[in-house]
Amino acid sequence: MLASRAVFKSKLVRGVRLSRARYHDFAQSKFFRVSEEVRDAVATGKPVVSLETTIYTHGFPYPDNIALAALLESAVRANGGVPATIGIVGGVAKVGLNAEEMIELASTAEKKSALKVSRRDLGYICGLGLAGKKLHGGTTISGTMILSELAGIKIFGTGGLGGVHRGGENSMDISADLTELGRTPVTVISSGCKSFLDIPRTLEYLETEGVCVGTFADGREGPVDFPAFYTRESGIRSPKVIQNEAEAAAIVYAQSKLPLSSGIHFANPVPLEYSIPKADMDSVIEEAVRLADVEGYHGSDNTPFVLSKIKELSGGKSVVANRALIESNAKRATLVAVELAKLEQ
């Protein structure tokens, strides 16, 4: 009993030492900068919420993306949190972008000149910055999770999760978001994944990666569906159900006390009044996926292409739902961070 407790303790201590050393190395480097506000909020235990930037560089056009960024940051503040928008500006990974950096990054959407940065791209873009090529990058869920962890941020709100693509059993197109959730202890709150992805295989993959996946039920009894972004129903049952932010925060807190490094995904269904009937979206999505295949959009170009076709083919209807659900996720993430801060006091 005593021996096993000693082993348990030593593993935890080693884990903490390792992550501190890593944090120190990168934090001291030229590649990483955390804003003063975010650094102070993390150090004093305030609720902080990460926000990603691929949605601005590869999702929404300029200047709509700036308006969305401002909307999300104010949703976080209005609910008692500190926003930390994360992205790569001039080859430097930044946590807590200021207004000028936000405009600098978001304005690349016009020319599509920023990189889409997930785990594999971080060393590349920072290294080229050192070599004199000052590139900009929008961080995906995967990239944003890594930088969140380094900054000490545990909660991250966004629109939709990447997943296993349809036909992924052959193409092996599986978003790096899923493996990241398996290895980085950050909680991602999104509206599930779009049904252009293979939702059952996505959930299988997350299970293999050891990721806790729960959907907010808000008083609904019994099993609930894992949501499909624009639609609250996917026909696929959520592995776990959580009722509210207090339950979500308790799970995050308990998991942080276990010797695990995996993340958590909480799905927040699109607000009822914005949910688009599944049948309406299905035909649009089928066509978008078909066009991506015909026009040869594979790899990291696939998701942005399919998303832009969905927008076009739905006549902009999807954009209204998209904006509403992201705002609702930013709010939900903040309320979870507020509850978590109470537990950590």
Q: Which of residues 220-279 bind ligand PSU (CB under 6 A)?
A: 229
CB 26 within 8 A of CB 150: yes
Closest residue to ligand PSU in the complex (CB): 160
Known catalytic residue at 169: no
Out of 85, 140, 202, 329, name the contact with ligand PSU by CB under 6 A. Answer: 140
CB of 173 to Mn ion, least distance (A): 4
160 binds ligand PSU (CB under 6 A): yes
Size of the site for ligand PSU (CB under 6 A): 17
Q: Which DSSP category does 109 fall into? A: G
Residue in the block written with tokens 């999760």: 161
CB of 132 to ligand PSU, least distance (A): 28
Using CB under 5 A, which of the segments 113-121, 173-181, 218-226, 328-336 binds Mn ion? 173-181
52 binds ligand PSU (CB under 6 A): yes
Q: Which DSSP category does 235 fall into? A: S
Nearest residue to 329 (alpha-carbon basis) of 187, 205, 204: 187
Per annotation, catalytic residue among 116, 194, 309, 331: 194
- Residue 175: strand, helix, or coil: coil
59 binds ligand PSU (CB under 6 A): yes
156 binds ligand PSU (CB under 6 A): no
141 binds ligand PSU (CB under 6 A): yes
Using CB under 5 A, which of the segments 60-68, 104-112, 133-141, 170-178 binds Mn ion? 170-178
What is the sign of the dihedral through the CA atoms of 242, 161, 63 and 325? negative
173 binds Mn ion (CB under 5 A): yes
Question: What value, to the nearest 5°, has the Cα angle with vertex 213 and ends 284 and 93?
Answer: 80
Q: Please, where are the H alpha helices in the chain?
A: 2-27, 36-43, 54-57, 64-78, 99-106, 119-130, 141-151, 168-171, 176-183, 199-208, 245-257, 278-294, 302-313, 317-344
CB of 118 to ligand PSU, least distance (A): 6
Per-residue CA distances from 132 to 34, 127, 137, 147 (Å) = 21, 9, 15, 22
300 binds ligand PSU (CB under 6 A): yes
Known catalytic residue at 317: no
Measured CA to CA, the distance from residue 201 to residue 188 in angstroms comes to 19
198 binds, among ligand PSU, Mn ion, none (CB under 5 to 8 A by kind): none
Which residues are near ligand PSU by CB under 6 A? Answer: 52, 54-55, 59, 140-141, 159-160, 162, 175-177, 194, 229, 300, 303, 307
Active site residue ranges: 52, 194
